Chains A and B, each alone.
Chain A
């Protein structure tokens, strides 16, 4: 079960550059640590994470073991029109996760 959350400002107007925050639950095992029985925990990190808004890919990150467990990613995106924000990720084991949420964009009030 994938646990993740995404956040953006409450009120987004067309043309605004808004900050998107994304938190994903993943151990991001480095492959360098041992468990309490002395066995090496194999490396398993998120290999690639993409964020597609409507049809456009607006964010892509390829992390490594150098990113903390339960990674947080924050990026900016220029608001266009209301569409679904789809976040998808894959880890070293091939396990995929996704999160979908609609980003509402209000039309810019005419001056």
Chain B
């Protein structure tokens, strides 16, 4: 039974045009999908093992004293490194007289949002940079000064200062383009069993957060509080240091400082914690 049995001739003609048109549109989409244009442009976001609505900062799992220390604007020990960072920001380089402020102006305003985007691909070299790498690139290239040692007070101070400009802003890292391959490497690392204890990050931090490892409550392993003042270190430290200490904890072989592996894992973690607000200066045990 055809369409024309129920409607008038002009309407039937219109419906036929519509029918043929829809068929044409369908064929175009089918071709587009099959040809790969769809996957290239409308990227399907990768599946999250931890849904966004379930994300919780490490602060949530921390004890009352740690929470109080983070909230105490005066007594938070990391404030002393922030002071150092603020001083270093305006310090002219011995080689060419340029300070961070010469190019960037005031850190509090001009560095807003920067810390939420790292790790990121450096346009010039194509390498994956974390925030400390970026600071060092500025130091060597634009200030003609030697690179700052990892975990040195000077680098921590600057890193804290730049991060503070993004206080409260949500983490949002780009995993498209060249970063995608790094993200995939990081995702693989996160679920890979390692070390003498043969544990993966996911086993503690995806599957068992909220439970206790001995008396320590397990957090989700979120990166929104870095650089962090860790009571265990009695000084601030970067995310790279914290990941290395996780490796030590599961008795895995630690990669050297500056390893790409650590940055890939950091990229994955920052994507995994998307939307969490930057906490600075954060305190953890």
Contacts and interface: CB of A to CB of B under 8 A. Distances in A.
Interface residues of B, number: 11
Interface string B233-244: 011000000000
A5 interface: yes
A7 B75 CA distance: 10
Nearest to A68: B234
Interface stretch (A20-28, A52-60, A78-86): A20-28
B84 A5 contact: no
A7 B74 contact: yes
Contacts, number: 36
A28 B79 CA distance: 17
B181 interface: no
Contacts of B39: none
A4 interface: yes
Contact of B75 (A23, A25, A28, A69): A23
Contacts of B77: 23, 25, 69-70, 72
B83 interface: yes
A23 B79 contact: yes
Interface of A: 1, 3-5, 7, 21, 23-25, 27-28, 68-70, 72
Interface of B: 74-75, 77, 79-81, 83-84, 87, 234-235
